[in-house]
Amino acid sequence: MSFYNERQWLCRRIFMNYKKKGIPKQTHLFYGADYNPDQWQKYPDILERDIELMKELGATSASIGIFAWTSLEPEEGRFEFGWLDCVMDRFAAEGLFVFLATPSGSKPMWMSEKYPEIRRVNQDGARDSSGGRHNHCPSSCIYREKVSLMNRTLAERYGKHPALALWHIGNELSGECHCANCKASFQAWLRARYVTLENLNESWWSNFWNHTFTDWAQIPTYDHSIDCLELDWLRFVNDQHLSFLKNEMASIRELTPDVPCTTNFMCMHLSNNYWEWAEHIDVISNDIYPMPDDREGSWARSIKADFVHSMMRGMSGGKSWMQMECAPSSVNWGTVNKLKRPRVHRQEILQAVANGADTIHYFQWRKSRGGFEKFHGAVVDHEGSSDSRVFKDCAQVGSDLQALGSVLQQDCPKADIAIIYEWESRWAMNASCGPKKDTSLGPFPADIYTDACLSHYEAVTSSGQSADVVSARSDFSDYRMIIAPSLYMVSEKLARKFNAFVESGGILVGTYLTGYVDPTNLCWLGGFPGSSLRQLFGIWNEEIDYLCDGEQVTVIPEEGNNLGCYTEGVAFDIIERIHLEGADVIARAGSDCYIDSPLITRNSTSKGAAYYIGAKLDSGTLLEFYRGFVSAYDLIQSVSAELPLGVVARKRQTASGELVFLFNYNKEEVSIDLEGLQLRDTLTEELLTGAVQLASYSSHICEVVRIGS
């Protein structure tokens, strides 16, 4: 086997084993970027210059061809592969890998004009004009056929190419189309789900406002007044993208069964249920752009990114995953496009690695000369040399990553705690008129459901714990504590699963807005939390109150509570009126009309316990509660020291032991007391013990020299 074939073989096995055990050793994390040589065909020197620069950077790989359809097929049926052959060959010759993209993320102009049905139609029935991107109709048979043919042709041509490491399927699949094809497909999807109109009408409570459907063809794709229609529409859109993705992979998998496929996720994107997508791809990959907007605060930004990383780890089943896109400096599409402050870029990269990433790719390698993204951050600037601040910064990160080879192919340590994140619950809550909501789009949509999950993740992290983010389908038995913030939609099956978890000794934490509806968004009858959760939590939640901005209710811990909480706290926004039905009180309301009403409760079984937090608590109050858990249940902390707000320790397994990553996400320097714990920074050899000053945005990758008490 030649050197490159051997590397290729190794590389493929590595990817294929992301989700499995018995993984071979690899020495480098994958490090690279989205690269668009198709845009530079008239600049013959650029490819060679880029390869030189990639080697100088320490890059291993690039994602190529993401938006290159017109360069690959300039006219219908006329394929041009010369430029890509050349790129693939040069990459192979230099020992670089290609994550070869299928180009479905944007349609060629000739195709879009000839086949208007491939363009999306909006809710008002207007068809998009050609142009833009990420805007094909996912139901269009023509587009699916065109994509299949293109992918088959790429797989036939490059399937055995030594540079090919991975298929990068499409790009950030998302969005919705309301064309006649999609409408008919939605109606057929509903028919398969409900079988009879009677079933559908009952599940949708269609009697309300005369919405009873008497023919499948009457069902629209959009009606905000039918909340289950909205929920089912999102389920359908998700299924359409998934079936589009499977269609893309079909010919590729047939021709290159040994080359893994991924598609790049977008964090918690509103309309994609990535738990389902994760089951169909070989490697989890994610794009993330935490915005360096100080108005939000560096800690808030970092903890959201941390949550997303933990979710990718959850999707990978604790195996490593790929960070497929991030910005090395600023983006160009934010309301504020600040450059990353010194150390922030490095910190963001190491944060991903600490949470399980073993690939770091940027968007983008080289700034395009024109077009929408010409001012988006890139490793290589328009200036073109390696002299730029960003290039040097990336080269430094590249060398840090090289030193991290020991984490490769190691499972991430399992946390004691898992937080459930469920798209369907989020969709159902957002579709229901009532709960206050803010469904702004973007990588971190600030809706009420996501907000609850993030605040609990933050409190758990600040209490010194790691948490995996999992789906309700995950195996709970791996965890000591399951936190299900605002899990609004609960099926009978899930309620039974929670009961079994607590029966077997688990600690369950539920919160306000738990168990209000069943899987068709119909309210549970017989009192909230519905199904068997009322008995499990030992409470009845009679009413929910939404407060005005600025209103607060004091939270008074019950004397002698088992969590040892004693500081008076604050609740805001949402308060439920809880009645005890067997549970003990951990804290009560201390003001307004709820005085003495239970706010935090515990219902114990012989082995486990179910806690309920019937109010939105401010971060300090929630933290006090989780600190109580850590000591009451002796949960394992990443390091034994107490860390100030915004300082986080994470562990990763290495081939020979473990590494501790220590981050200060604050804009300011902070001092911490590591007490007896002794850590050695593996890059600087600095010894960290006792009182330590952590510079703003600093990151340390450490070996443990001595475990503190």
The residue among 327 and 570 lying less far from ligand GAL, judged by its C-beta, is 327
Nearer to ligand GAL, 100 or 613 (CB): 100
R_g of the chain computed on alpha carbons: 26
Among residues 38, 50, 227, 325, which is the contact residue for ligand GAL, using CB under 6 A?
325
Using CA atoms, how far apart are residues 268 and 270, in angstroms rounded to an integer?
6
Q: Residue 348, interface with ligand GAL (CB under 6 A)?
A: no
| Torsion 100-106-109-113 (CA) sign | positive
Q: Are 161 and 267 in contact (CB under 8 A)?
A: no
CB-CB neighbours of 40 under 10 Å: 18
Whether 533 and 505 have beta carbons less than 8 Å apart is answered as no
Looking at residues 256 to 295 of the shown chain, list those that interact with ligand GAL (rule: CB under 6 A). Answer: 287, 289
Shortest distance in whole angstroms from residue 45 CB to ligand GAL? 25
Nearer to ligand GAL, 233 or 363 (CB): 363
Buried b (16+ CB within 10 A) or exposed e, 499-508: bebbeeebbb
Cα gap 674→676, rounded to integer Å:
6
Q: Are 285 and 263 in contact (CB under 8 A)?
A: yes
Provide, rounded to whole angstroms, the least separation between the CB of residue 66 and ligand GAL: 6
Q: 139 by DSSP, 3-state: which?
A: coil
Number of residues that bind ligand GAL (CB under 6 A): 9
Strand, helix or coil for residue 476: helix
- Choose between 326 and 494: whose C-beta lies nearer to ligand GAL: 326
What's the closest the beta carbon of residue 103 comes to ligand GAL, in angstroms? 12
Q: Which of 73, 172, 348, 458 is catalytic?
A: 172
325 is catalytic: yes
Nearer Cβ to ligand GAL (204/363): 363
Of residues 172 and 393, the one with the C-beta less far from ligand GAL: 172
Least Cβ distance, residue 67 to ligand GAL (angstroms): 7
d(Cα 398, Cα 384) in Å, to the nearest integer?
19
State in angstroms the smallest separation of the CB of 94 from ligand GAL. Answer: 24
Task: Give just the sign of the alpha carbon dihedral 282, 174, 333, 424.
Answer: negative
Contacts of residue 119, defined as CB under 8 A and 6 or more positions apart, other chains included, come to: 107, 112, 127, 128, 129, 130, 135, 136, 137
Find the helix packing angle between 423-431 and 448-462, rounded to 10°: 140
Rounded distance, CA 409 to CA 490, Å?
36
Dmax over CA atoms of the chain, in Å, equals 78
Residue 331 binds to ligand GAL (criterion: CB under 6 A): yes
DSSP-based three-state secondary structure for 257: coil
Shortest distance in whole angstroms from residue 266 CB to ligand GAL: 7
Which residue in the set 50, 128, 172, 232 belongs to the binding site for ligand GAL (CB under 6 A)? 172
To ligand GAL, the closest distance from the beta carbon of 38 in angstroms equals 13
Q: Which residue lies nearer to ligand GAL by CB, 227 or 287? A: 287
d(CA 96, CA 163): 7
For residues 615 and 574, what is the distance between their CA atoms, to the nearest angstrom?
Answer: 5
Among 40, 299, 363, 512, binds ligand GAL (CB under 6 A): 363
Q: Is residue 171 part of the contact set for ligand GAL (CB under 6 A)?
A: yes
Active-site choice (248, 325, 424, 624):
325
Catalytic positions, written as ranges: 172, 325
Q: Which residues bind ligand GAL (CB under 6 A)?
A: 171-172, 287, 289, 325, 331, 363, 373, 376
